[in-house]
Structure 1
């Protein structure tokens, strides 16, 4: 898995490519505002905010966390991306970068003490996302918070109109990028086999082979550990035009969750 992550998410990776939250300023601002509010609340409550951020990429939202006043430990499965993070934040003593090729470092880091656990556009890359989240929140300290955003909603729970529109928007974006074949190939493999472990596009985008991420199951899991778990569903897509149009409708294809006050 680490090798496949590095093949798609190396030092030269353009994370904005195909990432609505990095492409559209309104989505970027939305996440930055939510992170700022989260950190501010924890600073008021604890006089410090130590964040463990899982899968930081090249650090767009790591920078937002630091700007809000947090100290941050980031984990990154891709070695080249971890090196980019070290270089980018080399002059900031408030950040620590951990290369985590097997995806196991976060549990120890969280157990060592933190006020917040943060995922941005990560859970849909994890095969057993419920197990991974459950393992981490079980060792989080009292009063801490959980934040995750930019994951695709559970396909079976979507309306037919929403799902068809989101899928058509995705394919339209693929056509505009000139790589429709990859998108179609991924969906064809999904229909035939589920997913193929040797295909990087399958292994790093699990939601295409397992119907999205079950936001309601995640809320249920988090409510076992936190006093409050708030679900935020919204529209996101790669196309700038279709993003603007979708925001004006009631369609929701993406979600985030903020859970506060770990028991």
Structure 2
């Protein structure tokens, strides 16, 4: 089950949503903004390490990340974990459960996370009354598919060094676009997160990341991974980066 919002917590009006001020996101029309304001039922604040959604669960809600980091993952019966992707502000959470009936993966908070909450049962109104928002939802799903294609290519064909460089460059680029890095260019991931994303052992991951550190491309601190040279990481991975066009969110 999703965590409850703490008593007395404030809710950000959609008209004052901080994501709307970012050039990374396209703005809403007046009618779209009015609908999303009605569609939103509240906010949830989630602590690091808490489950937002569990594989096999049924949720009555959809969520958009307003602030913070999370990740999607699947686990095998023996507890081995595969991280599928990372969630940042503007990302939609729970659409798969809405379409498929139950969640096929779990979602965990990596940092303190604030989520906008939407009633799943009102999603049909979005499709019938606001076709541009419905297209945005399709765009979001297609964009997620494209990112998973890139991740699969990385795991299937890139070397361990290229995989690690791609992942760090990808996370850094995505976080920078949504002003999530703060004063330091630090990603709040551990080497275990990296290993579970790349499908490598923790020992192999440690040796691989040390090679990138020796090239002065990154450095590990108590807070996570400090990126020193984004362009250098992208060059090692042979990755040109994502499109710079503004993207929608709900």
Same fold (TM over 0.5): no
Q: Could you state the TM-score of these two structures normalised by the residue count of structure 1? A: 0.30
Q: Counting helix residues as a fraction of each chain, which structure ranks higher?
A: 1
